[in-house]
Structure 1
Amino acid sequence: MDTAFPPSLMCRLDEIPDDGATAIEGVAALGGESVIVERRGDAVRAWLNICPHAGRRLDYAPGRFLLKDELLICAVHGASFNRNDGVCVAGPCRGEHLRALAVELRGGEVWLLAAG
């Protein structure tokens, strides 16, 4: 179910490592949740920082993620998610997916638009 709310500024694009990811903590529009923001050049994607397997965060330290090739790997149980669509392709929750968030790049800033 799509949840729309007023657009909210998440971060600046240059705060996300190119071909990397970071966590944005305490996103008010999402009830204070942590969000993964992944960047490739000027393209950004975002998901809730919650693994569907056990409901734990995916980062191994705050804002630090295991990225290998096209995968984002949960540091707790090794679930491996496709970085293009958030689908789990290996591990304990194969076939499930990360909760995607609609984001948009505006003038070098990443804005959160909706939760899917």
Structure 2
Amino acid sequence: MKFFCAGTELPDDSSRGFEIEGRKLFAVRRSGQVYVYLNRCPHRGVGLEWQPDQFLDPSNSLIQCATHGALFLIEDGECVSGPCAGQSLTPVHCREDAQGIWVNL
């Protein structure tokens, strides 16, 4: 497991991008739960954010690809709207403990 950040650095309804071992990833916290995905849209293979650490739509309820507007469920990464509907983001196993958030590459 690789350390990502302290839990307090990812508040509820926020997102944060990072790179570990050359892999671009991002994390989202919703209702206290952390979700981590590869930062790669299944449509074009591009990064999702429109500016650093901005992976969510304006309502903070869906992950949004800045390139073509595809929308993904936070909980499982499924695309529910846009050019890659039915496809999903690639999840990355993570856990959180008293030290912070850890990812398993």
Fold shared, TM-score > 0.5 on shorter chain: yes
2:62 to 71, 88, 94: 71
Structure 1 runs, 4 residues or longer, greater than 4 Å off: none
Aligned residue pair count: 104
CA contact (8 A) 2:35 2:94 kept: yes
Q: Which of 44, 63, 72 is residue 54 of structure 1 equivalent to?
A: 44
Q: Which structure dedicates a bigger proportion of its chain to strand? A: 1
Q: Does 1:84 align with 2:75?
A: yes
Q: Partner of 2:27 in structure 1?
A: 37
Q: In 2, Cα distance between the equivalents of 1:39 and 1:107?
A: 16
Provide structure 1 residue ranges, at least 5 long, that are not aligned to the other structure. 1-6
Mapped pair 1:27 → 2:17 = no
Partner Cα separation in structure 1 for residue 5 and residue 12 of structure 2: 14
Report deviation, 1:113. Answer: 2.2
Report if aligned partners of 1:66, 1:75 keep a CA contact under 8 Å in 2.
no
5+ residue gaps, structure 2, are none
| Structure 1 residue 40, shift from structure 2 partner | 2.3
What TM-score, normalized to structure 2?
0.90
Percent identity (aligned): 35
